[in-house]
Amino acid sequence: MVSVKKTGEEKGLISFSLKGVGPAFANAIRRTVMQGVPCFAIEDVSIYKNDSVMFDEFLAQRLGMLPLKSDAKGYKIGDSVKLVLEKEGPGTVYSKGIKSTDPKVEVSNKKIPLTKLGKDQKIKLEMKAVMHSGKEHAKWQPAVISFEHDEKEKDAFKFEIEPNGALNAKDLLDKAADVLLEKTKQFEKEIKKIK
């Protein structure tokens, strides 16, 4: 019998135990959370004004790694959302300044510094966030997850999951289970075609 039990939570890091499965299934969960659960990430950046000391390419790369949160319901792979950022110095430009055209999608951490602006310096840009999965690029990886075999029981594993803010740990695991179930159904269909 399979059982899951939450064993701890500290500063966004969730621990849980999983019993009644083998190493292959435990690894399938890990891989699916990191590479199979879709989320939004900034893919394209159009920079209209950037007077900051940071080169356009560096700023675009920094924006691409920002975690964006959404419930992901109603979206599919390839869907996009527009975001904008406009700021005038002096001061530090933080991720809280990014505004989304879709209220369901927003930056998950509003305190990330992006660049600094001096007096009369400006930044103005538009971004396109796209829904994809971690198998395409690390920026679409919604969490870091690891597991180890429990030395006491051969079918028990200890997991730790640290979401980046795109989805909470429970939603991530729920979606990973849905992805695994769908792949199993597809596999069953293909098996039935074999004669």
In this structure, the answer to whether residues 20 and 47 fall within a common structural domain is no
pLDDT digits (tens, 9 = 90+) for 165-195: 888 888 899 999 999 999 999 999 999 888 7
In this structure, the answer to whether residues 47 and 128 fall within a common structural domain is yes
Give the confidence band of 70 by pLDDT, cuts at 50, 70, 90.
Answer: confident
Q: Which domain holds residue 10?
A: 3-37+142-185
In this structure, the answer to whether residues 46 and 116 fall within a common structural domain is yes
pLDDT digits (tens, 9 = 90+) for 71-87: 767 889 999 999 999 99
Give the confidence band of 120 by pLDDT, cuts at 50, 70, 90.
Answer: very high
Q: What is the mean pLDDT of residues 58-70?
A: 93
Examine residue 22 and state whether it is found in any structural domain, yes or no: yes
Give the confidence band of 151 by pLDDT, cuts at 50, 70, 90.
Answer: confident
In this structure, the answer to whether residues 103 and 72 fall within a common structural domain is yes
What pLDDT score was predicted for residue 11?
81
Examine residue 33 and state whether it is found in any structural domain, yes or no: yes
Examine residue 70 and state whether it is found in any structural domain, yes or no: yes
Give me the number of domains the chain comprises. 2
Q: What is the mean pLDDT of residues 53-74?
A: 89
Q: Give the span between the Cα atoms of 44 and 54, in whole angstroms.
A: 17
Q: What is the CATH number of the domain that holds 180?
A: 3.30.1360.10
Examine residue 123 and state whether it is found in any structural domain, yes or no: yes
Where is pLDDT greater, at 107 or 10? 107
Examine residue 194 and state whether it is found in any structural domain, yes or no: no
In this structure, the answer to whether residues 23 and 44 fall within a common structural domain is no
Give the confidence band of 94 by pLDDT, cuts at 50, 70, 90.
Answer: very high
Examine residue 56 and state whether it is found in any structural domain, yes or no: yes
44 burial via Cβ count (<10 Å: 0-12, 13-18, 19+): middle
The answer to whether 141 touches 34, Cβ cutoff 8 Å, is: yes
What pLDDT score was predicted for residue 1?
86
Residues 6+ apart with CB under 8 A from 188: none
**Regarding beta strands 113-117 and 106-107, do their DSSP bridges make them parallel or antiparallel, or are they unpaired?**
unpaired
Cα angle for residues 70, 80, 53 (degrees, 5° grid): 90
Q: What is the mean pLDDT of residues 115-143?
A: 94
Residues 6+ apart with CB under 8 A from 113: 92, 93, 94, 95
The token duo for 58 is 């560096």
Examine residue 191 and state whether it is found in any structural domain, yes or no: no
Q: What is the CATH number of the domain that holds 55?
A: 2.170.120.12
Examine residue 90 and state whether it is found in any structural domain, yes or no: yes
* Dihedral angle of Cα 96, 98, 99, 100, to the nearest 10 degrees: -110
Residues 6+ apart with CB under 8 A from 174: none
pTM: 0.86
Domain boundary among the residues 133, 159, 176 is at: 133
pLDDT at 97 > cutoff 90: yes
Domain boundary among the residues 98, 116, 133 is at: 133
Q: Give the span between the Cα atoms of 125 and 84, in whole angstroms.
A: 6
154 secondary structure, DSSP code: T
In this structure, the answer to whether residues 27 and 62 fall within a common structural domain is no
What pLDDT score was predicted for residue 124?
97
